[in-house]
Amino acid sequence: MSPGAPAASGRDAQGGRPLRADARRNRTRILDAADAVFAVKGPTASTEEIAQRAEVAIGTVFRHFPTKEALVEAVFIGRLDALAGQARSLAGAADPGAAFFAFLTEAVRQSTIKHTFADALADAGVDLRAYEGAVAEAIRDLQQSIGELLGRAQQAARVRVDIDVRTLIALIAGAAHAIGFASQDPAIESGVLSVTFDGLRPPVSP
């Protein structure tokens, strides 16, 4: 299971009774398969392909996720959660500046590999009102955990103070997107990261 893969909850979306063992297993397989396939082909990949990769019949996919949109959403939430977890694990680091830039590097690199995720991430920076329920909660959580990293780095004077979380998320998404197309070219990757990082540093006082 890849690092960013979403975890199966063990209960269905309605929070009803516990799932049967085979159902829980299949739900995980589907989520993992979807995560992998979406990462490469984007959310337009067919449900059939995901079912095949999960070694499950297509009916099973639709039993767990009533629409394709629901499946995409579930994968989306899984990735947001994973990223928020990473941010949180760096929140207590001794050097706020280093923690901040380490997180950025990792976030961009992961989003680069997971093609779709850059788009998903970009959404997270924006209008929260467009979402509701679980997605909105995941976004709020991510914004909060990244906000903490950012705030600490700003207090330590390692990051300019005139940007907020949403701008930062937009920047991450943008850099990931830019690099995504340039895969196989480390020069472009390091160039984009370098420019973005330098732009985030506080201006040198005259």
Partner DNA sequence: AAATAAAGTGAGTCTCTACTCCGGTTCGGA
Partner DNA sequence: TCCGAACCGGAGTAGAGACTCACTTTATTT
Residues that bind a copy of itself (CB under 8 A): 44, 118-119, 122-123, 125-127, 160, 162-164, 166-167, 170-171, 173-182, 184-185, 187-188, 191-192, 194-200, 203-204
Residue 15 interacting with DNA (CB under 7 A): no
CB of residue 46 to DNA, shortest distance in Å: 4
Q: What angle do CA 53, 110, 52 make, to 5 degrees?
A: 5
179 binds, among a copy of itself, DNA, none (CB under 5 to 8 A by kind): a copy of itself
47: partner contacted, choices a copy of itself, DNA, none (Cβ within 5-8 A by kind):
DNA
Select from a copy of itself, DNA, none the partner in contact with residue 113, using the beta carbon and a kind-dependent cut-off of 5 to 8 Å. none
Please check whether residue 21 is in contact with residue 33, taking contact to mean a CB–CB distance below 8 angstroms: no
End-to-end alpha carbon distance in the chain: 50
Among 31, 64, 84, 120, binds DNA (CB under 7 A): 64
Is residue 196 a contact point for DNA (CB under 7 A)? no
Type of residue numbered 148 = E
**Is 48 or 164 the residue whose CB approaches DNA more closely?**
48
Q: What is the number of helices (H) and of strands (E) in the chain?
A: 9, 0
Tell me which stretch binds DNA (CB under 7 A): 2-10, 56-64, 148-156, 190-198: 56-64
Contact between 13 and DNA by CB under 7 A: the answer reads no
Q: Give the C-alpha separation, 18 to 10, whole Å.
A: 7
Q: Closest CB to DNA among 16 and 203?
A: 16
Paired strand residues for 18: 11
Map 153-204 to HEC letters.
Answer: HHHCCCCCCCCCHHHHHHHHHHHHHHHHHCCCCHHHHHHHHHHHHHHHCCCC
Burial bucket for residue 61 (CB in 10 Å: 0-12, 13-18, 19+)? buried
Binding range to DNA, per CB under 7 A, among 60-68, 89-97, 147-155, 186-194 = 60-68
Rule CB under 7 A: choose which of 3, 10, 40, 67 binds DNA.
67
